[in-house]
Structure 1
Amino acid sequence: MIRNALTVGAWTLGSRVLGFARDILIAALLGAGPAADAFFVALRLPNLFRRLFGEGAFSAAFIPAYTATLSHEGEAPARRLAEDITAIMVVFLFVLMALGMIFMPAVLDALAPGFRAEPAKFALAVHLSRITFPYLWLICLCALFAGVLNARGHFAAASAAPILFNVSIIGALFILHGNGERVPEALAYGVVISGIVQFAMLGRALVKAGTPLRLRMPRLTPGAVTVLRRLGPGLIGAGVTQLNLTVDTIIASLLPNGTVSVLYYADRVNQLPLGVIGAALGTVLLPSLSRHFRRNETLQAQGALNRALEFALLLTLPGAAALGAIGLPIMRTLFAHGAFSDADAARSAAALAAYAFGLPAFVLVKLFAPGFFARGDTRTPVKIGLAAVALNLALNLMLMHPLQQVGIALSTSIAAWFNVAMLALLLRRHGGFAPDRRLVGRVIRIVIASAAMAIMLVTLRATPLMHLPGSLALIGLIGLGIGGFGVIGLGIGAFRVAEVRGLLRRPAKGAAALDGVKG
């Protein structure tokens, strides 16, 4: 399982690196002004669906039903189930897309109410949103294709597809922009082009895997109804982080120009470990848990979840500490070029520190939610998720004026920790989660090592190291941070070298390194 997670994570890391290249170009060309705000609002709905469907929520509804059908009934019924879901989604999403494009001004009134005060900004956001909206149709179908591939153990193609999102936008930016005024439009067209390319790639991957899907007339079969019943709750339960970020966009539109943009860039940096670790582990954990629960292997399911939690926290806790300690050098080095000023970088860095506080929680949600979905329980994550969204909204309204963008980011992080606490408590009560001594001991040691590393990084920011050119100083800080955490963590037993080596070897050895339940 962990080896497959590393495969998914490697492709996701490649996508995130290209995403940074994309965002560096956007920041240099648009900065953090009205045009950037308009584009990022136009990108919010496509991004919401891309992350919800592409990072596990659709799989949470589809994979358990598909794998059960494949195991109990065979290849042909499983393929028919996938084809039925495809047909239903094609029709529903086409209607949704048409309505969205017709009533886009009303959609933008809900998504960015503050834009109405600036007619030119609002008009640009409506225009760009109409261009990007067809991407929703394409990416949801891509998620279905990816779900079939993942359920059959083909993780690489589905994980590689998001790279095309960034390649397409970067390509469109160079080919179509012409002049500065057309940059937002070029970016919007790049989003749609990426959907077409991803759709073609995943469709070809299905054919190569021997499971091509034919387009049928929509049929509400019992299997399809089961998937659809789980899909809505699954989207809310597994996608609370993205729903909260959408709430952040709504509130940010009511604050001064550039707030939407600086929050976007802060979230982008925070999303690197979140996407690489959370999405990767969540993608491969759900099929594993589904198999264990279907066979009544409760101890094995608990062990798999414990090792996934341990591995995730080993990466996210020091990552969060580092983002909080050196957020300003990161934002300046990555984005403070062209139209993106030092002041914009400082605003983004402050928001990044607040988002980093919730980084481990954002990842843990992606690991605890599959524990419910694998057992067929979609209601519990939904109830908790809706409570977390309500808490985030309430905190946003309280903190938006005194803390500006920092208050918005901090609200999201607090809501994420609330979500994790409730999921863990209820999953433990139902027997799906039993933290063992090894997990508890390791987490305590990881926290200590992460705190020590953060103190070291803050101290280093006051040394001559920071007089080096920006990129060299940042590389030095990151290198020393990794080295410091490694030495301290190894010294106090936060991890073992043999286990890390095991992750990088053959799948069987990698799984064995983290699948043990004993401490």
Structure 2
Amino acid sequence: MEKPAASAPESSRLARDSAVVGAATVASRLLGFARDVLIARLLGGGPVADAFLAALRLPNLVRRVLGEGGLNAPFVPLYLAIKGERGEAAARDFAGEAAAQIGFLLLVLVGLGELFAPWLVLGLAGGFAEAPETLALAASYTRLMLPFLFLTTLAAMLAALLNAEKRFTVAALAPALMNAILLVVLLLLHASETQPEAGARWLALCTSLTGLAHLVMILVALRGPGLPRPSLRWSPDMTRLVRTGGATLLAASAAQLVLLVATQIASTGPGAVAALYYADRVFQLPLGFVGVAMGTVVLSDMALAANREGPDAMLGQALALGLALALPAATALVALAEPIVSALFEYGRFDAGDRARTAAALAMFGYGLPFAIAAKVFGQVYFARRAPRLPLISGGVAVLVAAFVGFSLADQGNAAEMAALAATCAFVAQACLLGGALLRDGIWRPSIGSLRPIAASLGASAIMLAVLELLLRLLATFLAFDQLALQRVGGLGLLCLGGVASYGAAGLMLGAFGALPLRKRRG
């Protein structure tokens, strides 16, 4: 007989904790949207924007990987295992050792980055080798942002301790604080009519200051459970962490490494790095909402379950939860790419050409969203078991697929669109490899009952698409690119409301939410 997915209380708690983390992530992403709208208005899509946004790729890589559970994956299962085997004091000692060792390593890496900043930029955007002025700007911005890497990684290490103790809220809210700080800085820069090059320099400096704010926020939150005592002593527990932790962190970073490859591809076309960045920022809203919950809440529960009966029972529920959100979001990104980009970014120095490049890349990202979410869910099973080998292999294959597809098509038109297509192909490959392995090993045994809500989500998304197409025709006047900003934003808001309402109604009728823990069940 098939085991129930979860008990009612446990199922409800999973939904609650996921909602808390997801809501904090959405708050951060919405503030990030406002930030990026002002960045687009200040910098546009020219060489300064390309230089700044290429330099910003490294902080964004670190922030997304760590914010979406990158350090949770190696740390949380081992911390909980030590706590269960030898008690809380031993687990705290391990946390202090991990924080101190990582902090020391980061100081060394940041120092090397400051020395070799131009080569670091070429590693992120090799196309800048043909544009020395853009390369010089990007190197200067990179040097200003590098302290962020030390500060926010140390904060994320300590936040993983909070997550292991199921204290999710403060760690999830930290990125929102960071975006709020940059938003205030941008408003001041706009008010003073700062020129793009100087504005980018101030933004780069303030990016590092947000890392300091992140660290302070986590330190304050740890006063309750108690700060771990830092120690540079190398213990057998640190050996266990390094043995699996490096591979786990690299595997958990696969999606962001794919986006780094996409940036390399986009750097071959003028204005394409900026277009890819703005499209990626929209793509990250639904990906972050679901991905952070999968990498924070679900991982903790799977790690605890792995010590008892295995995390397999939670897989179907987590996949249904992820796709119920990802499928309608992907549909909206594809159908509404141009109105979204126009309403959010087409102001100031961001012109019609920038809009066309960005919208094409956004639509291409939309096709890959459900696969990126599925890969995130599948990977948690292996991370919970401290067996990162397969996620690492699948992540490596995804990066190779992105590089092959992207560089094969880089000269076929819009470089930003081709870069997004390469990323989508990579997400498809990664999800298929991980899902196929789970099926092969008998870990995932999908039944008709467990697949029914996913099929219903697909049907509800198709109905939503039809509604959106109708609304696009009715609201064409409001959404025209020559209309005032308020009209375009209002038209986009009506489209979003119509999409949410139609998907919700269709989903309820078709049973898309039947497998989700929205209500208590009997038995």
User: Taking structure 2 as the reference length, what is the TM-score of the superposition?
Assistant: 0.92
Task: Using the TM superposition, give the Cα deviation of residue 223 of structure 1 relative to its aligned residue in structure 2, in angstroms.
Answer: 0.9
Asked if the contact 2:322–2:373 (Cα under 8 Å) also holds between the matched residues in 1, the reply is: yes
Question: Residues 435-514 of structure 1 correspond to what in structure 2 (within 5 A)?
Answer: 435-464=446-475, 466-467=477-478, 469-496=487-514, 501-502=518-519, 509=520
Asked if the contact 1:310–1:442 (Cα under 8 Å) also holds between the matched residues in 2, the reply is: yes
Letter in 1 for 2:307: R
Match of 2:218 among 195, 199, 202: 202
* Counterpart secondary structure, 1:32: coil
Q: Partner of 1:421 in structure 2? A: 432
Letter in 1 for 2:402: N
Asked if the contact 1:446–1:494 (Cα under 8 Å) also holds between the matched residues in 2, the reply is: yes
Question: Residues 24-103 of structure 1 correspond to what in structure 2 (within 5 A)?
Answer: 24-103=37-116
2:341 paired with 1:331? yes
Match of 1:239 among 234, 240, 253: 253
The more displaced of 335-344 and 258-267 is 335-344
Task: Using the TM superposition, give the Cα deviation of residue 415 of structure 1 relative to its aligned residue in structure 2, in angstroms.
Answer: 1.0
2:204 paired with 1:188? yes
2:244 paired with 1:230? yes
Percent identity for Structure 1 against Structure 2: 39
Asked if the contact 2:312–2:381 (Cα under 8 Å) also holds between the matched residues in 1, the reply is: no
Question: Residues 343-422 of structure 1 correspond to what in structure 2 (within 5 A)?
Answer: 343-404=353-414, 405-422=416-433
CA distance in 2, matches of 1:190, 1:138: 13
Task: Using the TM superposition, give the Cα deviation of residue 456 of structure 1 relative to its aligned residue in structure 2, in angstroms.
Answer: 2.7
* Counterpart secondary structure, 2:45: coil
* Counterpart secondary structure, 1:311: helix
Asked if the contact 1:238–1:381 (Cα under 8 Å) also holds between the matched residues in 2, the reply is: yes
Letter in 2 for 1:434: R
Letter in 2 for 1:148: L
Task: Using the TM superposition, give the Cα deviation of residue 142 of structure 1 relative to its aligned residue in structure 2, in angstroms.
Answer: 1.1
Task: Using the TM superposition, give the Cα deviation of residue 189 of structure 1 relative to its aligned residue in structure 2, in angstroms.
Answer: 1.3
Letter in 2 for 1:234: T
Task: Using the TM superposition, give the Cα deviation of residue 465 of structure 1 relative to its aligned residue in structure 2, in angstroms.
Answer: 5.2
* Counterpart secondary structure, 1:57: coil
What value does the CA root-mean-square deviation take over the aligned residues?
1.8
Asked if the contact 2:317–2:516 (Cα under 8 Å) also holds between the matched residues in 1, the reply is: no
CA distance in 1, matches of 2:418, 2:55: 23
CA distance in 2, matches of 1:270, 1:80: 39
CA distance in 1, matches of 2:71, 2:435: 21
Task: Using the TM superposition, give the Cα deviation of residue 175 of structure 1 relative to its aligned residue in structure 2, in angstroms.
Answer: 4.6
CA distance in 2, matches of 1:417, 1:340: 32
Task: Using the TM superposition, give the Cα deviation of residue 457 of structure 1 relative to its aligned residue in structure 2, in angstroms.
Answer: 1.3
Which runs of no fewer than 5 residues in structure 2 stay unpaired?
A: 1-13, 480-486
Q: Partner of 1:212 in structure 2? A: 227
CA distance in 2, matches of 1:211, 1:70: 15
CA distance in 2, matches of 1:103, 1:464: 51
The more displaced of 195-204 and 471-480 is 471-480
Q: How many residue pairs were aligned?
A: 499
Task: Using the TM superposition, give the Cα deviation of residue 247 of structure 1 relative to its aligned residue in structure 2, in angstroms.
Answer: 0.5
CA distance in 2, matches of 1:241, 1:425: 18
* Counterpart secondary structure, 2:370: helix
Asked if the contact 2:28–2:176 (Cα under 8 Å) also holds between the matched residues in 1, the reply is: yes
Task: Using the TM superposition, give the Cα deviation of residue 24 of structure 1 relative to its aligned residue in structure 2, in angstroms.
Answer: 0.7
* Counterpart secondary structure, 2:446: coil
Q: Partner of 2:169 in structure 1? A: 156
Letter in 1 for 2:228: L
Asked if the contact 1:57–1:231 (Cα under 8 Å) also holds between the matched residues in 2, the reply is: no
Task: Using the TM superposition, give the Cα deviation of residue 290 of structure 1 relative to its aligned residue in structure 2, in angstroms.
Answer: 1.1
CA distance in 2, matches of 1:473, 1:320: 19
CA distance in 1, matches of 2:212, 2:257: 25
2:259 paired with 1:276? no
CA distance in 2, matches of 1:423, 1:84: 33
Residue deviations 1:292-343 (CA, integer Å, cap 9, x gap): 1111x14xx2231111110111111011011100111011001111111122
Q: 1:230 to 1:53 in 2, by over 3 A?
A: farther
Asked if the contact 1:266–1:352 (Cα under 8 Å) also holds between the matched residues in 2, the reply is: yes
Q: Partner of 1:505 in structure 2? A: none
CA distance in 2, matches of 1:236, 1:444: 32
* Counterpart secondary structure, 1:207: coil
Q: 1:28 to 1:500 in 2, by over 3 A?
A: farther
Letter in 1 for 2:353: A
Letter in 1 for 2:503: F
CA distance in 2, matches of 1:467, 1:13: 26
Task: Using the TM superposition, give the Cα deviation of residue 172 of structure 1 relative to its aligned residue in structure 2, in angstroms.
Answer: 2.9
Match of 2:444 among 419, 433, 443: 433
2:142 paired with 1:129? yes
Residue deviations 1:402-426 (CA, integer Å, cap 9, x gap): 1422111011111101101111111
Residue deviations 1:363-407 (CA, integer Å, cap 9, x gap): 222211110011121111111110110011000011211142211
Asked if the contact 1:173–1:186 (Cα under 8 Å) also holds between the matched residues in 2, the reply is: no
2:232 paired with 1:221? no
Residue deviations 1:428-482 (CA, integer Å, cap 9, x gap): 3334322232221111121122122213312332235543621121111111111
Q: Partner of 2:6 in structure 1? A: none
CA distance in 2, matches of 1:341, 1:236: 37
Asked if the contact 1:316–1:360 (Cα under 8 Å) also holds between the matched residues in 2, the reply is: yes
Q: Partner of 1:265 in structure 2? A: 278
Which runs of no fewer than 5 residues in structure 1 stay unpaired?
A: 503-508
Asked if the contact 1:171–1:190 (Cα under 8 Å) also holds between the matched residues in 2, the reply is: no
User: Taking structure 1 as the reference length, what is the TM-score of the superposition?
Assistant: 0.93
2:263 paired with 1:249? yes
CA distance in 1, matches of 2:476, 2:418: 31
* Counterpart secondary structure, 1:449: helix
Residue deviations 1:183-235 (CA, integer Å, cap 9, x gap): 10111112101000110110111112x2212232x222111111122222112
CA distance in 2, matches of 1:93, 1:290: 27
Task: Using the TM superposition, give the Cα deviation of residue 55 of structure 1 relative to its aligned residue in structure 2, in angstroms.
Answer: 1.1
Asked if the contact 2:460–2:503 (Cα under 8 Å) also holds between the matched residues in 1, the reply is: yes
CA distance in 1, matches of 2:395, 2:229: 35
